[in-house]
Structure 1
Amino acid sequence: MTVPDDVETFAAAVGPDPDDVLREMDDRAEETGFPTVGPAVGGWLQQLAGLVDADRVFEFGSGFGYSAYWFARSLPEDGEIVLTEIDADELDDARENLARGGYAEMSRFELGDAIDIVTDYDGPFDVVLIDNEKDRYVEAFEAVREKVPVGGVVVADNMTAGPFDFEEIHRVVMEGGETDNEMARGVADYLGHVRSADDFETTLLPLGEGLAVTRRLA
C-alpha cells in the first residue's frame, strides 16, 4: 500500500521546500525509476533530525545521496553523516550531490557493506536510516542499536510497500501468515523485532512506502 498520489503531493507541498539539487535528484529518480524516499518522506527525515537535535546520522544504504541530503539540511555545520553504498558509481554521485549542496565537509562516504562499516564507527548516532537489503534489517538494527542514544531514532524504509505488496506484508504481520517473499519476511521480522526490543518504542509513518520510526527510551 502506498499513500494516494494527491496526498503524497500535498504532504510534499506542505513540507520543507527542496532546493535545486534536490529537484534535480527528484527528476533523475522519476526519469530512471531509481527508488528514493521522495520529497514528502524527505521532509520528514529533515524534520526528525531537527526534532532530536541530531549531530550525527548513519545510513544503511544511501544510493546517490537523496535521503542523506535531506538529513544534512538539519545538521549543524560541525555535524556528521555517514553514507554507505555498495555501488561505487552511486557513491560517487552522492559525493557530488552533497558537495553541490555545501555538505561535503560533514559527509563521510563509505563503499561496502553497511553492516560491516558501522562496526568501525563509535557512537552515538542520533538518527539511523535502515534502507539496505530487507532481509538484513534485523541484523542492521542489532549492529547499531547500542550506538543510538536515549532520544535517538532508527528509521526503516519499505514497511508497507517495496519488493512486495501491502496485502502480503499485512497478512504476515497481522495474521502471522507465511510468505515465500524473503523481502516481506525480512520486513515482518524487523517489525516484530523492534516492537519487542527493550527500551525502544516504534510507530509507523504511512508516507512513501512506509517508515517505521523507532525511538530509544532508556
Structure 2
Amino acid sequence: MKRNEMMDRPVINNDVREYLRTAQKPLPGKLGEIQREANEKRVPVIPHETVVFLDWLFPHLQPKRVLEVGTAIGFSASLMAQRMPEEGHLTTIERNPVMIEKAKKTFTELGLEDKIALKEGQAQDVLQELDGPFDFIFMDSAKAKYYDFFPYCMKLLKTNGVLAVDDILQGGTILQPDEEIPRRRRKIHRKLNEFLDVVLTHPSLQSSILPLGDGLLLITKKEDADFSFMEPKIEE
C-alpha cells in the first residue's frame, strides 16, 4: 500500500495533535479493534480526532441517508452507520478491488451488510447514477478529484444538508506557492486550491474548516445552485 506522507505532517502543533489523539475516549468494541489495527499497520483511516468529532456530530444531525465517496477499508463508513438512526442507510463508493474486499470483510465482521451498500466503480460514474437526496455526504477520496466530484455531490445533497470533505489542508502546505510543492503533488495542490476558492466564497454555501487531522471542511448547502461549470469537460 502506497504511504501518504501527509499522514505525518500535522496542521497544528505536534503536542496538540497527540493530545487530541490520546486524551479523547477510544472507540469501544470491534470497531475500536479495527481502528487500532489499522493505525498499527499504517493503514490510512480517519484520525482519532476526526472519529471523535463524527461520533459527536451524528447524534445531533440524525442523518437517515448518508453517502461516502471513498470507502477504503470501510472504517469510516462503519463508524457513521453505527451512529445513524436505526432506520438509516449508508451508501459508499470505492474503485480499488483490494479495498473493496477489505471493506466487505469489515462490514461483515460488524454485522452492517444490511445497513451499508457498497457501490463498486469510478466515483464520477457512480455519483451520476445515484438518486438523492442525501442528508450527509462524506468525501475522502482522491484529493485532485474533489473539484470534479463536488457538482455531483451538490445535486445529491438535500437543502441544509452537510458535505464533509477530509484532508483539505495537505499537511499545512495548502497555502504554499506552486513552485515550493513537489512536482508530483502540484496537480493536487492546484485542484484543492481551486476547489477551496469556490466553496469558501459561494453565496449558496456556508463553509467551515476545522483543523482536525489534515483539515476537515464542512459545507452546508443553503440553497440549490448551478455548479455545472466544475464538471469535468468531455474530450472529443
Same fold at TM > 0.5:
yes
> Which structure would you say has the larger Rg?
2
Match of 1:67 among 76, 80, 84: 76
Task: Assess, with a 3 A threshold, how the Cα gap between structure 1 residues 68 and 209 changes in structure 2: closer, same or farther.
Answer: same
Contact residue 2 and residue 210 of structure 1 kept, 8 A:
yes
Does 2:137 correspond to 1:132?
no
In the TM superposition, residue 186 of structure 1 has moved relative to its aligned partner by 1.8
Q: 1:216 corresponds to which residue?
A: 221
Q: Distance in 2 between matches of 1:155 and 1:57?
A: 11
> Structure 1 15/75 Cα, relative in aligned 2: closer, same or farther at 3 Å?
farther
Alignment partner, residue 151 of structure 2: 142
In 1: Cα distance, 2:142 partner to 2:91 partner: 18
TM-score, length-scaled by structure 2: 0.80
* Corresponding residue of 1:108: 117
- 1:130-175 residue CA offsets vs partner (Å, 9 max, x unmatched): 11111110111111102211221111111122xxx42x31235xxx
Equivalent-residue separation in structure 2 for 1:45 and 1:104 (angstroms): 21
CA distance in 2, matches of 1:38, 1:3: 14
Name the CA distance, whole Å, in 2 between partners of 1:31 and 1:49.
Answer: 27
Give the superposed CA RMSD.
Answer: 2.2
2:194 corresponds in structure 1 to 189
Bigger drift between 150-159 and 40-49 goes to 40-49
Cα distance in 1 between the residues matched to 2:65 and 2:161 = 10
SS of match in other structure, 1:151: strand
Q: What's the TM-score once normalised by structure 1's chain length?
A: 0.86
Counterpart of 2:49?
Answer: 40
Alpha-carbon distance in 2 for matches of 1:158, 1:58? 17
Per the TM alignment, residue 210 of structure 1 is displaced from its structure 2 partner at its CA by 0.7
1:93 corresponds to:
102
Aligned pair 1:84/2:89, yes or no? Answer: no
The runs of at least 4 consecutive aligned structure 1 residues that moved more than 6 Å come to: none
Shift of 1:28: 3.0
My pick for the range that moved more, 55-64 or 68-77, is 68-77
Q: Which residue in the other structure is 2:174 paired with? A: 169
Distance (whole Å) between structure 2 residues aligned to residue 33 and residue 189 of structure 1: 30
Which moved further from structure 2: 20-29 or 51-60? 20-29
Q: Give the 3-state SS of the residue equivalent to 2:126 in structure 1.
A: helix
Question: Quick one: structure 1 residues 121 and 200, their matched pair in 2 at CA, closer, same or farther if it must change by over 3 Å?
Answer: same
Identity of matched residues, %: 23
SS at match of 2:207: strand
Partner of 1:7: 16
Q: 1:14 to 1:51 in 2, by over 3 A?
A: farther
Is contact 2:93–2:119 with CA below 8 Å preserved after alignment?
Answer: yes
Moved more, 141-150 or 4-13: 4-13
